[in-house]
Amino acid sequence: MTSSPAPLVVVVGSVNLDVVTELDHLPRPGQTLIARSVRRNVGGKGANQAVAAQITCGAASFVGRVGDDADGRELVAELDRRGVATDLVEKVQGEPSGAAYIAVADGQNTIVVAAGANSVWGALSDEESTAIEAAPVVVCQLEIPDAVIAAAAERCTGRFVLNAAPARPVADSVLRRCNPVIVNENELADLTGRAVDGPDSALTAARELRARGALGVVATLGAAGAIWVDADGHGHQRSPRVEVVDSTGAGDQFVGALAARLAVGHGLASAVRWATAAASVSVQSVGTVDSYPDVDAIDAALDRLPPEA
Ligand code: RIB
Protein backbone atom coordinates (compact mmCIF):
# COMPACT_ATOMS: atom_id res chain seq x y z
CA MET A 1 0.00 0.00 0.00
CA THR A 2 1.19 3.52 -0.74
CA SER A 3 0.60 6.67 1.28
CA SER A 4 0.55 10.33 0.34
CA PRO A 5 1.76 12.82 2.98
CA ALA A 6 -0.82 15.54 2.41
CA PRO A 7 -3.86 14.54 0.39
CA LEU A 8 -5.78 17.37 -1.24
CA VAL A 9 -8.85 15.17 -1.75
CA VAL A 10 -9.92 12.39 0.61
CA VAL A 11 -12.59 10.13 -0.88
CA VAL A 12 -14.56 8.12 1.69
CA GLY A 13 -16.47 5.55 -0.29
CA SER A 14 -17.04 2.30 -2.09
CA VAL A 15 -14.72 0.10 -4.09
CA ASN A 16 -15.97 -2.78 -6.25
CA LEU A 17 -14.62 -5.30 -8.65
CA ASP A 18 -16.59 -4.45 -11.79
CA VAL A 19 -17.51 -7.35 -14.06
CA VAL A 20 -18.48 -5.65 -17.31
CA THR A 21 -20.28 -7.36 -20.18
CA GLU A 22 -20.64 -5.70 -23.59
CA LEU A 23 -23.91 -6.61 -25.27
CA ASP A 24 -25.77 -5.89 -28.52
CA HIS A 25 -28.65 -4.54 -26.43
CA LEU A 26 -29.60 -4.44 -22.75
CA PRO A 27 -31.53 -7.55 -21.59
CA ARG A 28 -35.30 -7.52 -21.18
CA PRO A 29 -36.77 -9.15 -18.02
CA GLY A 30 -36.42 -12.93 -18.33
CA GLN A 31 -34.03 -12.73 -21.27
CA THR A 32 -30.66 -14.53 -21.50
CA LEU A 33 -28.01 -12.87 -23.67
CA ILE A 34 -24.55 -13.92 -24.82
CA ALA A 35 -21.99 -11.16 -24.20
CA ARG A 36 -19.71 -9.88 -26.95
CA SER A 37 -16.95 -9.48 -24.37
CA VAL A 38 -16.35 -9.55 -20.62
CA ARG A 39 -13.73 -7.69 -18.59
CA ARG A 40 -12.95 -7.05 -14.92
CA ASN A 41 -11.68 -3.76 -13.57
CA VAL A 42 -11.52 -1.66 -10.43
CA GLY A 43 -14.77 0.22 -9.86
CA GLY A 44 -17.14 1.50 -7.23
CA LYS A 45 -18.18 5.12 -7.21
CA GLY A 46 -15.71 5.99 -4.45
CA ALA A 47 -12.70 4.35 -6.09
CA ASN A 48 -13.57 5.80 -9.50
CA GLN A 49 -13.83 9.28 -8.00
CA ALA A 50 -10.51 8.86 -6.20
CA VAL A 51 -8.81 7.92 -9.48
CA ALA A 52 -10.40 10.91 -11.25
CA ALA A 53 -9.31 13.25 -8.45
CA GLN A 54 -5.79 11.81 -8.52
CA ILE A 55 -5.50 12.55 -12.24
CA THR A 56 -6.45 16.20 -11.74
CA CYS A 57 -4.65 17.10 -8.48
CA GLY A 58 -2.07 14.31 -7.99
CA ALA A 59 -2.85 13.94 -4.27
CA ALA A 60 -5.95 11.81 -3.66
CA SER A 61 -6.44 9.37 -0.81
CA PHE A 62 -9.10 6.65 -0.61
CA VAL A 63 -10.77 5.56 2.64
CA GLY A 64 -12.70 2.33 2.14
CA ARG A 65 -13.30 -1.31 2.98
CA VAL A 66 -12.43 -4.48 1.05
CA GLY A 67 -12.73 -8.15 1.95
CA ASP A 68 -9.70 -10.14 3.09
CA ASP A 69 -9.70 -11.90 -0.28
CA ALA A 70 -7.95 -11.98 -3.65
CA ASP A 71 -10.36 -9.42 -5.14
CA GLY A 72 -9.60 -7.02 -2.29
CA ARG A 73 -5.87 -7.35 -2.85
CA GLU A 74 -6.36 -6.79 -6.59
CA LEU A 75 -8.49 -3.68 -6.00
CA VAL A 76 -5.97 -2.09 -3.61
CA ALA A 77 -3.07 -2.92 -5.95
CA GLU A 78 -4.92 -1.30 -8.84
CA LEU A 79 -5.59 1.90 -6.89
CA ASP A 80 -1.91 1.94 -5.85
CA ARG A 81 -0.89 1.55 -9.47
CA ARG A 82 -2.99 4.56 -10.37
CA GLY A 83 -1.31 6.66 -7.67
CA VAL A 84 -4.19 6.85 -5.16
CA ALA A 85 -3.06 6.60 -1.50
CA THR A 86 -4.55 3.42 -0.01
CA ASP A 87 -3.10 3.33 3.50
CA LEU A 88 -6.61 3.94 4.89
CA VAL A 89 -8.24 0.99 3.10
CA GLU A 90 -9.15 -1.62 5.73
CA LYS A 91 -9.74 -5.33 5.21
CA VAL A 92 -12.98 -6.69 6.66
CA GLN A 93 -12.80 -10.31 7.85
CA GLY A 94 -15.61 -12.61 6.76
CA GLU A 95 -17.07 -10.34 4.07
CA PRO A 96 -16.33 -10.50 0.34
CA SER A 97 -15.03 -7.45 -1.47
CA GLY A 98 -17.71 -5.41 -3.21
CA ALA A 99 -18.63 -6.40 -6.76
CA ALA A 100 -20.67 -4.77 -9.49
CA TYR A 101 -22.22 -6.55 -12.47
CA ILE A 102 -22.45 -4.11 -15.37
CA ALA A 103 -24.07 -4.55 -18.77
CA VAL A 104 -23.20 -2.02 -21.49
CA ALA A 105 -24.95 -1.62 -24.85
CA ASP A 106 -25.40 1.35 -27.20
CA GLY A 107 -23.81 3.81 -24.76
CA GLN A 108 -26.25 2.80 -22.01
CA ASN A 109 -25.73 0.57 -18.99
CA THR A 110 -27.33 -1.31 -16.13
CA ILE A 111 -25.45 -1.88 -12.87
CA VAL A 112 -26.19 -4.32 -10.04
CA VAL A 113 -23.99 -3.93 -6.94
CA ALA A 114 -23.22 -6.60 -4.32
CA ALA A 115 -21.93 -4.25 -1.61
CA GLY A 116 -20.05 -6.83 0.48
CA ALA A 117 -17.37 -5.15 2.62
CA ASN A 118 -18.56 -1.67 1.56
CA SER A 119 -21.58 -2.11 3.81
CA VAL A 120 -19.58 -3.18 6.89
CA TRP A 121 -17.94 -0.22 8.61
CA GLY A 122 -17.44 0.33 12.29
CA ALA A 123 -16.74 3.88 13.42
CA LEU A 124 -14.11 5.80 11.48
CA SER A 125 -10.66 5.06 12.94
CA ASP A 126 -8.59 7.84 14.52
CA GLU A 127 -6.31 7.85 11.45
CA GLU A 128 -9.30 8.15 9.12
CA SER A 129 -10.79 11.00 11.18
CA THR A 130 -7.45 12.82 11.20
CA ALA A 131 -7.11 12.50 7.42
CA ILE A 132 -10.66 13.76 6.92
CA GLU A 133 -10.10 16.73 9.24
CA ALA A 134 -6.90 17.71 7.44
CA ALA A 135 -8.19 17.47 3.87
CA PRO A 136 -9.15 20.58 1.88
CA VAL A 137 -11.88 18.51 0.19
CA VAL A 138 -13.67 15.35 1.37
CA VAL A 139 -15.89 13.39 -1.02
CA CYS A 140 -18.59 10.79 -0.21
CA GLN A 141 -21.20 8.93 -2.24
CA LEU A 142 -24.20 6.82 -1.13
CA GLU A 143 -22.73 3.32 -1.62
CA ILE A 144 -21.56 3.19 2.02
CA PRO A 145 -23.55 3.35 5.29
CA ASP A 146 -25.30 6.61 6.25
CA ALA A 147 -23.50 6.69 9.61
CA VAL A 148 -20.09 6.81 7.89
CA ILE A 149 -21.23 9.61 5.56
CA ALA A 150 -22.63 11.59 8.51
CA ALA A 151 -19.38 11.11 10.48
CA ALA A 152 -17.24 12.19 7.51
CA ALA A 153 -19.43 15.27 6.97
CA GLU A 154 -19.18 16.10 10.66
CA ARG A 155 -15.38 15.72 10.75
CA CYS A 156 -14.71 17.62 7.54
CA THR A 157 -13.22 21.07 8.14
CA GLY A 158 -12.72 21.84 4.42
CA ARG A 159 -15.29 21.44 1.65
CA PHE A 160 -17.59 18.45 1.90
CA VAL A 161 -18.69 17.13 -1.51
CA LEU A 162 -21.50 14.59 -1.60
CA ASN A 163 -22.38 12.68 -4.74
CA ALA A 164 -25.92 11.61 -3.80
CA ALA A 165 -25.77 8.41 -5.87
CA PRO A 166 -27.30 5.89 -6.01
CA ALA A 167 -30.37 7.92 -5.03
CA ARG A 168 -31.72 7.64 -1.51
CA PRO A 169 -32.84 10.25 1.02
CA VAL A 170 -30.13 12.48 2.52
CA ALA A 171 -30.53 13.83 6.06
CA ASP A 172 -30.78 17.62 6.27
CA SER A 173 -27.90 17.58 8.80
CA VAL A 174 -25.66 16.12 6.05
CA LEU A 175 -27.14 18.29 3.30
CA ARG A 176 -26.23 21.40 5.29
CA ARG A 177 -22.55 20.42 5.02
CA CYS A 178 -22.57 19.87 1.25
CA ASN A 179 -20.58 22.35 -0.79
CA PRO A 180 -21.71 21.06 -3.20
CA VAL A 181 -24.07 18.07 -3.40
CA ILE A 182 -23.74 16.59 -6.91
CA VAL A 183 -26.59 14.70 -8.56
CA ASN A 184 -27.83 13.72 -11.99
CA GLU A 185 -31.33 14.58 -13.21
CA ASN A 186 -32.95 11.42 -11.82
CA GLU A 187 -31.25 11.76 -8.44
CA LEU A 188 -32.26 15.42 -8.24
CA ALA A 189 -35.86 14.43 -8.98
CA ASP A 190 -35.71 11.72 -6.30
CA LEU A 191 -34.22 14.09 -3.71
CA THR A 192 -36.76 16.85 -4.29
CA GLY A 193 -39.86 15.03 -5.55
CA ARG A 194 -39.89 17.41 -8.54
CA ALA A 195 -39.95 16.58 -12.25
CA VAL A 196 -36.53 17.45 -13.70
CA ASP A 197 -36.13 17.52 -17.47
CA GLY A 198 -33.62 20.16 -18.44
CA PRO A 199 -31.66 23.14 -17.14
CA ASP A 200 -34.59 25.31 -16.01
CA SER A 201 -36.38 22.66 -13.94
CA ALA A 202 -33.02 21.42 -12.63
CA LEU A 203 -32.16 24.92 -11.43
CA THR A 204 -35.52 25.22 -9.68
CA ALA A 205 -35.01 21.87 -7.92
CA ALA A 206 -31.39 22.76 -7.07
CA ARG A 207 -32.57 25.98 -5.44
CA GLU A 208 -34.94 23.91 -3.34
CA LEU A 209 -31.96 21.88 -2.04
CA ARG A 210 -30.21 25.18 -1.27
CA ALA A 211 -33.29 26.25 0.68
CA ARG A 212 -33.02 22.97 2.65
CA GLY A 213 -29.48 23.96 3.60
CA ALA A 214 -27.08 22.69 0.91
CA LEU A 215 -24.31 25.28 0.46
CA GLY A 216 -23.96 24.39 -3.19
CA VAL A 217 -25.71 22.14 -5.72
CA VAL A 218 -24.51 20.76 -9.05
CA ALA A 219 -26.77 18.74 -11.35
CA THR A 220 -25.40 16.91 -14.37
CA LEU A 221 -27.79 16.83 -17.32
CA GLY A 222 -26.14 14.49 -19.84
CA ALA A 223 -25.93 16.10 -23.27
CA ALA A 224 -27.33 19.34 -21.84
CA GLY A 225 -24.26 19.80 -19.60
CA ALA A 226 -24.59 20.77 -15.94
CA ILE A 227 -26.14 23.48 -13.79
CA TRP A 228 -24.70 24.82 -10.56
CA VAL A 229 -25.89 27.10 -7.80
CA ASP A 230 -24.16 28.37 -4.67
CA ALA A 231 -23.81 31.58 -2.63
CA ASP A 232 -21.90 33.21 -5.52
CA GLY A 233 -24.68 32.70 -8.06
CA HIS A 234 -25.71 30.09 -10.59
CA GLY A 235 -24.87 28.94 -14.08
CA HIS A 236 -25.48 26.44 -16.86
CA GLN A 237 -22.38 24.88 -18.41
CA ARG A 238 -23.17 23.35 -21.79
CA SER A 239 -21.51 20.15 -23.04
CA PRO A 240 -19.78 19.78 -26.39
CA ARG A 241 -21.49 17.49 -28.92
CA VAL A 242 -19.73 14.13 -28.70
CA GLU A 243 -20.51 10.54 -29.66
CA VAL A 244 -21.32 8.65 -26.44
CA VAL A 245 -19.75 5.17 -26.58
CA ASP A 246 -19.98 4.25 -22.87
CA SER A 247 -21.16 6.56 -20.09
CA THR A 248 -20.36 4.11 -17.24
CA GLY A 249 -18.42 5.96 -14.56
CA ALA A 250 -18.61 9.32 -16.35
CA GLY A 251 -20.53 10.74 -13.38
CA ASP A 252 -17.70 9.60 -11.10
CA GLN A 253 -15.16 11.22 -13.41
CA PHE A 254 -17.16 14.45 -13.13
CA VAL A 255 -17.28 14.30 -9.31
CA GLY A 256 -13.60 13.45 -8.81
CA ALA A 257 -12.38 16.05 -11.29
CA LEU A 258 -14.64 18.73 -9.79
CA ALA A 259 -13.52 17.93 -6.23
CA ALA A 260 -9.85 18.09 -7.21
CA ARG A 261 -10.34 21.40 -8.96
CA LEU A 262 -11.99 22.84 -5.83
CA ALA A 263 -9.10 21.49 -3.76
CA VAL A 264 -6.56 23.48 -5.75
CA GLY A 265 -8.50 26.71 -5.26
CA HIS A 266 -10.97 27.04 -8.11
CA GLY A 267 -14.52 28.28 -7.56
CA LEU A 268 -17.56 26.15 -8.35
CA ALA A 269 -18.19 27.58 -11.86
CA SER A 270 -14.61 26.87 -12.92
CA ALA A 271 -14.66 23.40 -11.33
CA VAL A 272 -17.90 22.52 -13.14
CA ARG A 273 -16.33 23.61 -16.42
CA TRP A 274 -13.28 21.40 -15.86
CA ALA A 275 -15.41 18.43 -14.80
CA THR A 276 -17.69 18.82 -17.83
CA ALA A 277 -14.66 18.80 -20.12
CA ALA A 278 -13.25 15.70 -18.40
CA ALA A 279 -16.55 13.77 -18.57
CA SER A 280 -17.07 14.72 -22.22
CA VAL A 281 -13.84 12.88 -23.06
CA SER A 282 -14.45 9.81 -20.92
CA VAL A 283 -17.85 8.99 -22.51
CA GLN A 284 -16.17 8.66 -25.91
CA SER A 285 -14.41 5.39 -25.09
CA VAL A 286 -15.30 2.19 -23.25
CA GLY A 287 -14.60 1.59 -19.58
CA THR A 288 -14.74 3.52 -16.33
CA VAL A 289 -11.33 4.53 -14.96
CA ASP A 290 -9.63 3.36 -18.17
CA SER A 291 -11.57 5.99 -20.10
CA TYR A 292 -10.56 8.89 -17.81
CA PRO A 293 -8.42 11.42 -19.72
CA ASP A 294 -5.15 12.84 -18.43
CA VAL A 295 -4.74 16.52 -17.59
CA ASP A 296 -3.50 17.42 -21.09
CA ALA A 297 -6.54 15.81 -22.69
CA ILE A 298 -8.87 17.59 -20.24
CA ASP A 299 -7.14 20.88 -21.04
CA ALA A 300 -7.65 20.28 -24.76
CA ALA A 301 -11.34 19.46 -24.18
CA LEU A 302 -11.66 22.62 -22.09
CA ASP A 303 -10.64 24.66 -25.15
CA ARG A 304 -13.47 23.05 -27.14
CA LEU A 305 -16.12 23.52 -24.44
CA PRO A 306 -19.03 25.85 -25.31
CA PRO A 307 -19.37 28.88 -23.00
CA GLU A 308 -21.95 28.94 -20.21
CA ALA A 309 -25.51 29.37 -21.52
O1 RIB B 1 -20.66 4.71 -11.26
C2 RIB B 1 -20.15 3.52 -11.78
C3 RIB B 1 -19.86 2.56 -10.66
O4 RIB B 1 -21.06 2.22 -10.00
C5 RIB B 1 -19.26 1.25 -11.10
O6 RIB B 1 -17.85 1.28 -11.15
C7 RIB B 1 -19.84 0.25 -10.13
O8 RIB B 1 -18.90 -0.39 -9.33
C9 RIB B 1 -20.89 1.01 -9.31
O10 RIB B 1 -20.43 1.33 -8.05
**Is pLDDT above 70 for 160?**
yes
Is the CA virtual torsion 10, 12, 13, 16 positive or negative?
Answer: positive
For the question of whether the overall pTM of this predicted structure is more than 0.85, the answer is yes
* Cα of 100 from ligand 1 centre, angstroms: 7
Domains within the chain, CATH numbers bracketed: 9-13+45-95+118-303 (3.40.1190.20)
Q: How far is the CA of 233 from the centre of ligand 1 (A)?
A: 31
What integer pLDDT is reported at residue 122 of this predicted model?
A: 87
Atom of ligand 1 nearest to the CA of 165: 1
Q: How far is CA 254 from the centre of its chain?
A: 7
**Which pLDDT band, with edges at 50, 70 and 90, does 5 fall under?**
low
For residues 298 and 290, give the distance between their C-alpha atoms in angstroms, rounded to a whole number: 14
Contact assessment for residue 102 and residue 248, using Cβ atoms and an 8 Å cutoff: yes
Percentage of residues in the chain having pLDDT higher than 90: 96
pLDDT for the residue numbered 107: 84
Quickly list DSSP for 86-101. EEEEEEETTSPPEEEE
Residues 64-81 have a mean pLDDT of 98
Q: E strand or H helix at 187, and its extent?
A: helix 185-192
Model pLDDT, residue 221: 97
**Ligand 1 binding residues, C-beta < 6 A:** 14, 16, 18, 43-45, 48, 100, 111, 113, 143, 248-249, 251-252, 288
Spacing, Cα 124 to ligand 1 middle (Å): 23
Per the prediction, the chain carries an average pLDDT of 96
| Residues belonging to the active site | 252
11, 14, 15, 18: which to mutate for ligand 1, most atoms within 8 A of CB? 18
Q: If you measure from the C-alpha of residue 309 to the centroid of ligand 1, how many angstroms do you get, rounded to a whole number?
A: 30
Helical H segments across 40-162, by residue range:
45-57, 70-81, 126-134, 146-155
Question: Which tens digit of pLDDT belongs to each residue from 258-288?
Answer: 999 999 999 999 999 999 999 999 999 999 9
Of ligand 1's atoms, which has the minimum distance to the CA of residue 43?
6
* pLDDT score of 194: 96
Would you say residue 211 has pLDDT above 80?
yes
- Structure confidence at residue 2 as a pLDDT band (50, 70, 90): very low
Q: What is the pLDDT of residues 94-104, one digit of tens each?
A: 999 999 999 99
For the chain, percent of residues with pLDDT exceeding 70:
98
pLDDT beyond 50 at 3: no
Average of pLDDT values for 200-222? Answer: 98
Ligand 1 pocket test target in 252, 253, 282, 292 with most atoms within 8 Å of CB: 252
Closest CA to ligand 1's atom 1:
249
Using the 8-state DSSP alphabet, how is residue 238 labeled? P
DSSP H or E run through 19: strand 16-22
For residue 171, which phi and psi values (nearest 5 degrees)? Answer: -65, 145
